[in-house]
Structures are given as structure tokens and as C-alpha cells.
Amino acid sequence: MDVSHPEIAALVRQALAEDIGTGDVTSQACVPAERRARGRFLARQEMVVAGVEVLPLIYSGQGGVDRLEIDRPTGSRVADGDVVARVEGNARVLLACERVALNFLQRLSGVATMASRFAREVEGTGCRVLDTRKTTPGWRRLEKMAAAAGGVTNHRMGLWDGVLIKNNHITAAGGVRQALENAKGCGLPVEIEVRTVDELDEALAAGATHLLLDNYTPGEIATMVGLIAGRAKTEASGGVTLETVRAYALAGADFVSSGAITHSAPAMDLSFRLEWLAG
């Protein structure tokens, strides 16, 4: 996981400021200022780990941290009890950063684990699972990397890196053919949603090469794929869940996208265990 982007550093700073504020009064009140400690981040369930590479960003600006070791990098599959990372240094600093560190690990590991479950469901079908832009504000870059670490393919990062003509764009442009005509020469990949067989025929006649089939049942997807007959790539989307994703893949879609990978991923159970270092 490449955490070098300035957006990620800014997010970490914001998270620390939000939690620590003017100071960790509990640690200051009961832990001697010179006390040193060692902490271990432990998995408490099976998961795909993600976000461990954020830990150096969390601790680097706090001072007093002597050593940080990453045992299981992003993308690692771990079991209950496995050590994910270790940190050693001033006890107050380790305690002040504990919640922020766990928030990043738990959230991003949740996304990676959910993504791995989706990827596993479509194994052997030739279909690829895509994530979406249904991400936590400010966390998109990290959540997209976590999704990829879990085994799915990243779709657009934002509105700037691919043309996806949906129903409202079609209405605003004046129709399927006109929307595609207007998008010619943009220099970016173009995908267009089709809602009916007539729109499908119109899109193919206008040269569409990538079609979005939104809110269809797996049976309807199979019918549409049969009509397309390989003339364009297809993406099935709309309410796709872990329980239904394989049916959509088996219906013949080239891609299946699901917002659940990010918007419905439960946080994974990780804990931080501290021990006092004598001397």
C-alpha cells in the first residue's frame, strides 16, 4: 500500500488532531512521563489485513517512538491471534495514538476482507469484480487500495479519470446516441448505461464498446449479454451482494460492480496490547 500521497498524510494529521486535541489527559494523569512500553497489534479474527503502512505516518510526527515493525503487510491473510505490527517507545505516545491506529487498521482491513469475499465468489467465472465511488469522504484513496489488496479491481477513482454516461447524463445530453457522439474524442475510456433493448441497440449502433447494465436481475443480464453477443464489454451493477454476485458473473457479465465492498464493509476486530518496559 503506497501511502505517500499528500491526501493520506493530511488525513492522518486530521485524525490525530481530532482524537488527541490538546493532549491525552488520561495518560498524562496516570502514566509517568519517562515510562517506556512495547505494543502489539493483534488480529482477533480471520481477515485480510490492510492499512498497516499507515502506522509510520501516525507515529512519525509524535516523537518518542524508537521502533516500529510491520509483521503482516497489506494483503496478508491472518488468523485470530496473529501479530500484525509492533511498536516500541514512550508509553504516553503509544497510548495517545492507539485509537487512531486501530481505526485505520480496522476500517481498511474490513474493506480488504469484504473485497476478498467478493473476489472469491466469482472465482472460475472469468468475471472481475469492481469497486465503486461509494467510499468514506477523505478515505477514498486508502479504501480503493484496500479493495485492490483484497482482490477486486478498482473502477474510477473519481469523475476525472473515466467517462461513465448514466441515465441522467443521457437525459441531459438528449439521448444515448447524442451522449456518445458528444463524448467522442475525449481521450478517456467511455462506458454508457442502457436501460432497455432499444437503448442497447442504439448504443451499439453508435459504437459503444462498454455497456453498464444497472438494476437488472441475473436472468435479465443473461438475456442482454446474449443480445450483445460479444460486441461490447458488459458491467452488471445495482444492489449486487455477496449472495448474488456469483449469479451475475455466471450470467455472462464481464464485470460486476458493488458499492457494498466499501460502504458496507464491517470493521475487523484488531486489538492493541501494551506492556511496560522496565528501566
Per DSSP, the residues of 48-106 read E---GGGHHHHHHTT--EEEEEESS-TT-EE-TT-EEEEEEEEHHHHHHHHHHHHHHHH
Cell of 33: 512521563
Cβ contacts of 80 within 8 Å, gap of 6 or more:
43, 44, 45, 46
> Residue 63 above 90 pLDDT?
no
Q: Please pick, among 77, 166, 177, 233, the residue that the annotation labels catalytic.
A: 166
The pTM assigned to this predicted structure is 0.95
Q: Please pick, among 19, 71, 88, 214, the residue that the annotation labels catalytic.
A: 214
Per-residue pLDDT of 29-56, as tens digits, reads 999 999 999 999 999 999 999 999 999 9
Q: Please pick, among 35, 38, 40, 99, the residue that the annotation labels catalytic.
A: 99
**Pseudo-torsion of CA 78, 79, 81, 85, nearest 10°?**
0
pLDDT attached to residue 51: 98
Q: What SS3 class is residue 207?
A: coil
Per-residue confidence at 183, pLDDT binned at 50, 70, 90?
very high
Residue 214 among the catalytic residues: yes
Residue 144 among the catalytic residues: no
> Residue 124 above 80 pLDDT?
yes
> Residue 279 above 70 pLDDT?
no
pLDDT attached to residue 18: 97
Mean pLDDT of 174-195: 95
Residue 99 among the catalytic residues: yes
The overall average pLDDT reported for the chain is 96
Q: What are φ and ψ of residue 126, in 5° steps? A: 80, 0
pLDDT attached to residue 278: 80
Q: Concatenated DSSP letters for 210-224? A: EEEEES--HHHHHHH
Amino acid (1-letter code) at residue 96: A
Residue 134 among the catalytic residues: yes
- Give dist(CA 77, CA 157) in Å, integer: 25
Share of the chain above pLDDT 90, in %: 96
Angle at 63 between CA 59 and CA 66, to 5 degrees: 75
Q: Which of 150, 151, 154, 153 is nearest to 49 (CA)?
A: 150
Residue 193 among the catalytic residues: yes
Q: What is the DSSP letter of 29?
A: H
- Give dist(CA 233, CA 16) in Å, integer: 44
| Residue-range domains of the chain with CATH | 6-111+266-277 (3.90.1170.20), 119-263 (3.20.20.70)
Mean pLDDT of 267-274: 98
Specify the residue for cell string 475510456: 189
- Give dist(CA 127, CA 118) in Å, integer: 11
- Give dist(CA 267, CA 111) in Å, integer: 8
Q: Please pick, among 121, 193, 199, 254, the residue that the annotation labels catalytic.
A: 193
Cell of 13: 494529521
Paired with 274 in beta bridges are 39
β pairing state of 83-90 and 36-43:
antiparallel
Specify the residue for cell string 508509553: 91
Per-residue pLDDT of 207-250, as tens digits, reads 999 999 999 999 999 999 999 999 999 999 999 999 999 999 99
Q: Please pick, among 38, 40, 134, 140, the residue that the annotation labels catalytic.
A: 134
